[in-house]
């Protein structure tokens, strides 16, 4: 049985190792992807929390670039699904093909789809039809794909990054709530700062090839995810997160703004997401337990896509972020 | 650290916190008492001044003293009780967490010690909590609520009082607000009976200056200029009197315009969202237009608006739970998802069918990058992911020949009845097809694709 000092030392080593790897990965990404410090950090938090991320931003902000850079820096198997309106579910999951064997007989062979990989970029996800989008549901939640009678486990770690453009309506299909709920966080990609534009010009218009060097491997990512899962969550934090999520549900909330503008509140998955993100944030702060502050910090990205706003909110131009801020101020 | 040692530290903090609370309570008594005294002074000043306009009674000096005493006693009692209240363990821990400002580490450590968690991260959290606790104990425990600076508050109170006295804010507010107007007008009616001559002079003056009846707006400005209470009462009474003689009272107009505002606010909310309602796309009605509408058209307009609002509400319900959303920016309804021919000639196409001039391409997205097809290659499972044009590769000659032979054999034996055909004709036909078959085989052999 290890002594208390040994335990403390071991915990300290694990936390330091996590921070070191995280910082190295972030630095490597920022060599190729300029600015957006908070966005990069949040995306890495989602990766190590073991969830999937939805990047939303207007065209040209580098959503796809960020995802590709992260894939390069983590050196995981990378597949890209470019969503188009005629994409079929079997184009994502894979399908069975009839082939002729050497002895002349015929057999069905499973042709793997791009979803069976470590790192999957689902670009412009809202351009695919809901039928095709639904092919991702099982893969994202359960980490497996079922075709016919066959179930194929996806490799671990498994990380989906989807991008979408919020300004176009024609030719797009809004993501259904079931799909949105499967993303651990929705990250908004904003315009870069003034200084960042200069750096972007320098990096991209001089003819040089910008590519990230691999810093982590799939095994390291998996190990870091296990470290995150081991972080403790005190009752105080659990109470807080439960109260926070229940406050977003119109039938439970006592806030008038929620009852008036929200049609669907956050699900229990939101609780899981917030706690996991809180754990990563706690580790990055050098702690081994989640605090209320960590949960507050992760509330916006974990809840904004899980709160369905009613028409009155659209008319009054109230978005989910405003509702979350109101709740955070109240609790 | 064991739970007992941890609790001893917390007990220390509790005692320290108790002392701090008492000190804080005493400090607060002094500050709040001085605040209350200044507040009551202001109330007394107001009571003597323009407040008497609204109140039809005056506080006596004794009453003011009694109120002052009661307020003081209750405040002192509350604060003393708070100062002597016993600090429990959880409160002390929360307070320590607040002082240390380190992510609830102390309460987390307390919880983990109580639950006897033995994971390495739990032990690490406890050690961090203890560290935070010791750090908090070293710090000076300041009270939660910082006392307000009395001089600033007193100055602010006096300034507010001066501003309200000088600007005549209350007088204007009384003229803008309905219930206040009614009270003032009732007061004016009383004074009207007492001093009929004075009212006549004021009303005559105002009408003489303007040459017309006193309108509602003029009424306001006139009221703004009059500061003394009697003059104000006289002016408002005169205005009421003159407006009453014109047929429509200011109260009636105000009441109608308020109801219209409420109705138009509810319908505007829907219209800004892009739904067609009564008068969608128009600018919101101004107060004057509302007045004129209400006077000229009457209640028929309300009925239309009510129906439009009800219609919009129904439309909302249909959109509420569907993925279709209206375009909020250009106030158009959501485009339909149907692929049939719809729309009108004069409207531009939106890529969703219809007779518009400009249309989006009807080709599929997969045409641009090329589509992956599995080419059937014998004895090679899953062989070759190639572009679509490769699927149109010509048939192998030996396969083609075999297929033709089989088909002719089938037709000869099963499908064609040979007994009724002339043998010469039969021979000639057979010869023709054999020659044709030989020719096609020869051509296939000579073609370059056979290599």
Q: What is the pLDDT of residue B288?
A: 41
Q: Are B92 and B209 in the same domain?
A: no
Q: Are B210 and B80 in the same domain?
A: no
Alpha carbon distance A302, B258 (integer Å):
43
Question: How many angstroms separate the CA of residue A259 from the nearest CA in chain B?
Answer: 15
Alpha carbon distance B104, A295 (integer Å):
12
Residue B370 has φ and ψ, to the nearest 5°, of: 95, 150
Q: Do B382 and A316 touch (CB under 8 A)?
A: no
Contact list in A for residue B321 (CB cut-off 8 A) is 263
B104, B272, B335 member nearest A292 (Cβ)? B104
- Give yes or no for residue B1 having a pLDDT over 90: no
Q: Are B146 and B175 in the same domain?
A: no
Q: Residue A187 in contact with residue A43, Cβ under 8 Å?
A: yes
Q: Are B257 and B243 in the same domain?
A: no
Q: What angle do CA B238, B240, B245 make, to 5 degrees?
A: 100
- Nearest Cα residue in chain A from B367: A86
Is the minimum CB–CB distance between A293 and chain B shorter than 8 Å?
yes
Alpha carbon distance A274, A281 (integer Å):
10
Q: What is the pLDDT of residue B181?
A: 39
Q: Do B120 and A11 touch (CB under 8 A)?
A: yes
Best-predicted range by mean pLDDT (A148-157, B154-163, B194-203, B256-265)? A148-157
Q: Residue B144 in contact with residue B98, Cβ under 8 Å?
A: yes
Last residue of a domain, one of B150, B184, B216: B150
Is the minimum CB–CB distance between B225 and chain A shorter than 8 Å?
no
Give the total number of structural domains in chain B: 4
Parse chain A into domains and list their residue ranges. Answer: 231-331
Considering the domain boundaries, does residue B292 fall inside one?
Answer: yes
- Give yes or no for residue B144 having a pLDDT over 80: no
Handedness of CA A4, A5, A8, A13 (dihedral sign): negative
Q: Are B16 and B118 in the same domain?
A: yes
Alpha carbon distance A225, A230 (integer Å):
9
| Beta-strand relationship, A308-309 and A185-188 | unpaired
**Which structural domain, as residue segments, surrounds residue B94?**
3-150
Alpha carbon distance A323, A304 (integer Å):
9
Q: Are B269 and B203 in the same domain?
A: no
Q: Are B8 and B136 in the same domain?
A: yes
CB atoms inside a 10 Å sphere around CB B301: 16
Q: Residue B248 in contact with residue A294, Cβ under 8 Å?
A: no
Alpha carbon distance B306, B313 (integer Å):
10
Considering the domain boundaries, does residue B52 fall inside one?
Answer: yes
Considering the domain boundaries, does residue B364 fall inside one?
Answer: no
Of A74-83, A300-309, B93-102, B108-117, give the lowest mean pLDDT range.
B93-102
**Residue in the block written with tokens 């994409």:** A87
- Give yes or no for residue B436 having a pLDDT over 60: yes
- Distance between the two ends of chain B, CA-based, in angstroms? 86
CB atoms inside a 10 Å sphere around CB B211: 6
User: CB neighbours of B40 closer than 8 A, spacing ≥ 6?
Assistant: B64, B67, B68, B71
Higher pLDDT, residue A328 or B338: A328
Considering the domain boundaries, does residue B202 fall inside one?
Answer: yes
Considering the domain boundaries, does residue B188 fall inside one?
Answer: yes
In the sheet that holds A119-123, the strands lie side by side as: A78-82, A119-123, A159-164, A53-56, A185-188
- Give yes or no for residue A284 having a pLDDT over 90: yes
Q: What architecture is domain A231-331?
A: Orthogonal Bundle (1.10)
Q: Are B8 and B124 in the same domain?
A: yes
Q: Are B10 and B144 in the same domain?
A: yes
Q: Do A109 and B382 touch (CB under 8 A)?
A: yes
Query: Stretch A177-199: mean pLDDT, rounded?
Result: 89
Alpha carbon distance B415, B408 (integer Å):
10
Alpha carbon distance A48, A228 (integer Å):
7
Query: How much is the mean pLDDT over chain B?
Result: 59
Distances (CA, A) of B326 to A125, A258, B315: 21, 22, 11
**What stretches of A143-206 show up as alpha helix (H) in DSSP?**
177-181, 194-204
Per cent of chain B over pLDDT 90 is: 0
Per cent of chain A over pLDDT 70 is: 99
Is the minimum CB–CB distance between A47 and chain B shorter than 8 Å?
no
Alpha carbon distance B121, B107 (integer Å):
15
Best-predicted range by mean pLDDT (A29-38, B378-387, B392-401, B408-417)? A29-38
Q: Are B232 and B260 in the same domain?
A: no
Considering the domain boundaries, does residue B102 fall inside one?
Answer: yes
Question: How many angstroms separate the CA of residue B245 from the nearest CA in chain A?
Answer: 44
Residue A171 has φ and ψ, to the nearest 5°, of: 75, 15
Considering the domain boundaries, does residue B343 fall inside one?
Answer: no
Q: Are B240 and B223 in the same domain?
A: yes
B120, B273, B382 member nearest A97 (Cβ)? B382
Q: What is the pLDDT of residue B403?
A: 46
β-bridge partners, A55 = A163, A187
- Give yes or no for residue B421 having a pLDDT over 80: no
3-state helix, strand, coil in chain A (%, to 5): 50, 15, 35
DSSP A45-105: HHHHHT--EEEE--TTS-HHHHHHHHHHHHT--EEEEE--TT--HHHHHEEEEEEE-TTS-
User: CB neighbours of B343 closer than 8 A, spacing ≥ 6?
Assistant: B349, B350, B353, B354, B355, B356
B105, B273, B374 member nearest A314 (Cβ)? B273
Query: How much is the mean pLDDT over chain A?
Result: 89
Considering the domain boundaries, does residue B362 fall inside one?
Answer: no
Q: Residue B264 in contact with residue B290, Cβ under 8 Å?
A: yes
Length of chain A: 331
Of A143-147, A152-156, A195-199, B92-96, give the lowest mean pLDDT range.
B92-96
For residue A214, the 8-state DSSP code is P
Alpha carbon distance B158, B377 (integer Å):
96
- Complex ipTM: 0.82
């Amino acid at each position: 049985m290890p002594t208390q000092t040994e335990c403390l030392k071991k915990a300290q080593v694990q936390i330091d190792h996590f921070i070191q790897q995280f910082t190295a990965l972030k630095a490597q990404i920022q060599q190729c992807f300029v600015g957006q410090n908070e966005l990069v950090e949040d995306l890495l938090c989602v990766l190590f929390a073991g969830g999937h991320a939805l990047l939303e931003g207007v065209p040209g902000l580098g959503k796809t670039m960020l995802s590709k850079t992260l894939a390069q820096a983590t050196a995981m198997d990378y597949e890209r699904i470019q969503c188009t309106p005629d994409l079929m579910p079997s184009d994502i999951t894979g399908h069975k093909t009839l082939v002729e064997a050497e002895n002349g007989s015929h057999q069905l062979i499973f042709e793997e789809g791009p979803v069976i990989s470590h790192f999957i970029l689902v670009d412009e996800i809202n351009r695919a039809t809901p039928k095709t989008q639904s092919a991702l549901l099982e893969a994202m939640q359960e980490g497996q794909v079922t075709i016919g009678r066959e179930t194929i486990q996806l490799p671990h770690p498994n990380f989906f990054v989807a991008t979408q453009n919020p300004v176009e309506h024609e030719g797009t299909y809004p993501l259904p709530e079931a799909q949105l709920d499967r993303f651990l966080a929705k990250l908004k990609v904003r315009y870069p700062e003034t200084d960042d534009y200069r750096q972007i010009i320098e990096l991209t218009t001089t003819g040089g090839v910008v590519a990230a060097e691999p810093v982590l491997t799939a095994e390291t990512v998996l190990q870091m995810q296990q470290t995150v899962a081991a972080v403790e969550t005190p009752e105080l934090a659990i109470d807080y997160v439960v109260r926070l999520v229940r406050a977003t549900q119109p039938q439970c909330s006592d806030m008038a703004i929620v009852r008036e503008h929200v049609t669907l509140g956050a699900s229990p998955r939101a609780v899981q997401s917030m706690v996991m993100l809180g754990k990563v944030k706690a580790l990055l702060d050098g702690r081994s337990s989640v605090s209320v502050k960590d949960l507050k910090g992760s509330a916006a990205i974990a809840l904004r896509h899980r709160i369905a706003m009613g028409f009155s909110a659209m008319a009054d131009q109230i978005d989910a972020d405003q509702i979350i801020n109101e709740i955070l101020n109240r609790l | 650290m064991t739970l007992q040692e941890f609790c001893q530290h917390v007990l220390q903090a509790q005692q320290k916190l108790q002392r701090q609370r008492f000190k804080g309570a005493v400090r607060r008594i002094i500050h709040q008492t001085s605040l209350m005294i200044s507040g009551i002074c202001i109330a007394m000043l107001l009571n003597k001044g323009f407040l008497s306009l609204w109140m039809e009674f005056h506080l006596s000096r004794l009453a003011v003293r009694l109120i002052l005493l009661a307020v003081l006693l209750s405040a002192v009692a509350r604060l003393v009780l708070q100062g002597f209240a016993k600090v429990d363990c959880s409160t002390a821990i929360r307070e320590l967490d607040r002082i240390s400002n380190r992510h609830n580490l102390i309460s987390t450590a307390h919880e983990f010690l109580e639950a006897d968690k033995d994971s390495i991260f739990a032990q690490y959290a406890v050690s961090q909590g203890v560290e935070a606790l010791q750090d908090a104990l070293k710090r000076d425990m300041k009270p939660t609520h910082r006392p307000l600076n009395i001089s600033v508050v007193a100055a602010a109170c006096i300034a507010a009082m001066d501003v309200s006295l000088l600007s005549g804010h209350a007088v204007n507010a009384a003229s803008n607000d309905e219930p206040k107007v009614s009270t003032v007008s009732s007061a004016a009616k009383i004074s009207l009976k007492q001093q009929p001559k004075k009212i006549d002079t004021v009303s005559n003056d105002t009408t003489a200056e303007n040459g017309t009846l006193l309108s509602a707006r003029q009424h306001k400005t006139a009221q703004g200029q009059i500061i003394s209470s009697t003059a104000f009462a006289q002016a408002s009474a005169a205005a009421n009197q003159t407006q009453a003689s014109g047929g429509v009272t200011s109260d009636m107009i105000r009441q109608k315009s308020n109801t219209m505002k409420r109705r138009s606010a509810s319908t505007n909310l829907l219209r800004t969202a892009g739904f067609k309602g009564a008068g969608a796309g128009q600018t919101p009605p101004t107060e004057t237009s509302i007045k004129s509408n209400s006077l000229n058209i009457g209640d028929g307009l309300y009925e239309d608006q009510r129906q439009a609002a009800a219609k919009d509400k129904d439309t909302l319900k249909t959109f509420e739970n569907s993925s279709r959303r209206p375009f909020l920016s250009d106030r158009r309804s959501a485009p339909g998802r149907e692929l049939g021919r719809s729309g009108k000639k004069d409207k531009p196409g939106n890529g969703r069918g219809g007779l518009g001039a400009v249309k989006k391409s009807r080709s599929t997205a997969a045409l641009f990058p090329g589509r992956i097809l599995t080419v059937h290659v014998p004895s090679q499972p899953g062989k070759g992911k190639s572009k679509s044009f490769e699927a149109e590769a010509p048939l192998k000659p030996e396969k083609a020949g075999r297929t033709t032979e089989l088909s002719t054999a089938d037709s000869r034996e099963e499908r064609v009845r040979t007994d009724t055909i002339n043998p010469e004709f039969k021979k000639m036909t057979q010869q023709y097809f054999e020659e044709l078959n030989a020719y096609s085989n020869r051509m296939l052999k000579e073609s370059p694709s056979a290599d």
